[in-house]
Amino acid sequence: MGSKLKNIGLISLGVIAGIGASIQFDAIAQKSAAAPLPLEELRQLADIFGLIKSDYVEPADDKKLLTEAISGMVASLDPHSAYLDKKAYKELRESTQGKFVGLGIEVGMEDGYIKVVSPIEDSPAYRAGIKAGDLITRLDATPVKGLTLEQAVKRMRGEPNTKITLTISRKEEDKPLIFNITRQEIRVQSVKGKVVEPGYAWLRVTQFQEPTVDDMAKKIAAIYAQEPNLKGLVLDLRNDPGGVLPGAIGVSAAFLPKDAVVVTTNGQLPSSKASFYAKREYYANPGNDPLARLPEALKKVPMVVLVNTGSASASEIVAGALQDYKRATIMGTQTFGKGSVQSVIALPPDRNTAVKLTTARYYTPNGRSIQAKGIVPDVMVDEYADGDGLNGLRLREADLTKHLSNDTDKGPEIKASKVDELEEAQNIAAAEKKRKPLEFGSKDDFQLAQALNQLKGLPVQVSKVKPENRSEAEKDAKPSKDDKPAPADGAIIKKDEPKDEKK
């Protein structure tokens, strides 16, 4: 497309957070040898602060000025770092538990308007009929043009059961569309699953939350109770924006060999150089291992993992690990490419505010960086039999302004938008308008049908889009069971807790 989304937020979380950060909650870092402060630049900041206080047309609030300065400084780093005020920090913590108040839409900024990236399944926005690609032009009576993404997000926040009117511009519609939506506490169903036909099951993770591993174990147990001789399993991570890291480790551990490396991280701090293993202490509380109750056959059942451009962060960790160990065939389209770690660091004195700071990059067990590249499927399959639909128009990490680079891939970063001509984009949008919304896991789910064909050894209708080439070494390499990096200090989710208290 001619213009790309410049930033991205998640209205359901109420935080300008980027897509699906795999989040770690840390205590504030105390460095013994801090870098010297740039005194000249700090003097300049103080001079500007004084100038605003003395010369601005009306009195300026000290706290507001300094808070905005902090917010701008952190946001300038990359699309996923942010200062969290008291309300935003509270909402972020609640969201990891699978509940939050909001509309339920992923949004970004495009040409001064708010663009809907995707409505979240079963959310108020989803039920109201909001679609991916919609442009929000008004919030109640306020035009969106001229607002920052953060300002627009704040206007869409609110208390449960309060209403907001969205004015929507939708391609191929002659007139604006008006939606009256009631804000609600959204409880995301983290795991879904069913036996789709004799011998074959479908398991979907919509978002990685604190209850995800327990919910997945219960769903798998129910599937095996119905189909004890399972011949194949489809793990569906499409449109899964990520979430908490322990959820990704636990889902991976259910299918990988015991104690296998799931993901490694590397950053500036010694504590950011860590390895995470398929061990109970990395995904569950002491005394509780939900995976221990799963049938042993699960480790060997043939698998296909479905991914698309909306699969990000924790989803990419799972797909990358299962691909490196050749445990599953990855199918679909290239993922989002969000391969960075965000540490949420509570700030003194009251610890009710925080900074969400990018502190490391994620690497698959074979050492591949996920950042700005994502996971390239083993088998490329479009969303529909006649093409990839709107999925091919969605942005990826490499499209975001100030995104981190991929430090292990020497080739050019692949941009997400394959369609650069407006006319072609409009043609796709027009075709999508005539198509009924896709329900993942339904009989009309083309990619699921192809995944089942793959498991049965039947022909698969592959995409005409060529996958990005991976080296033969990458394709053939498999981590040795005896060649595991040693755990680094700080490879825990909460640094102020004992090592066996990971959550």
Q: End-to-end CA distance of the chain: give it in Å, rounded.
A: 41
Residue 338 is a catalytic residue: yes
Strand (E) or helix (H) holding 203: strand 200-205
How many C-beta neighbours within 10 Å does residue 410 have?
Answer: 6
Catalytic residue among 289, 324, 382, 445: 324
Q: In whole angstroms, what is the distance from residue 403 CA to residue 372 CA?
A: 7
Catalytic residue among 338, 356, 373, 502: 338
Helix, strand or coil for residue 24? strand
Question: How far is C-alpha 138 from the geometric centre of its chain's CA atoms?
Answer: 27
Residue 53 is a catalytic residue: no
Helix, strand or coil for residue 374? coil
Residues ≥6 apart with Cβ < 8 Å to 207: 20, 98, 188, 190, 240, 241, 242, 243
Peptide bond into 377 cis (omega under 30): no
Catalytic residue among 311, 313, 340, 369: 313
Residue 324 is a catalytic residue: yes
Contact 107/9 with Cβ under 8 angstroms? yes
Phi, psi of 313 (to 5 degrees): 55, -110
Question: How far is C-alpha 41 from the geometric centre of its chain's CA atoms?
Answer: 36
Alpha helices in 288-417 (DSSP H): 314-324
Alpha helices in 56-117 (DSSP H): 62-75, 86-95
Residues designated as active site: 313, 324, 338
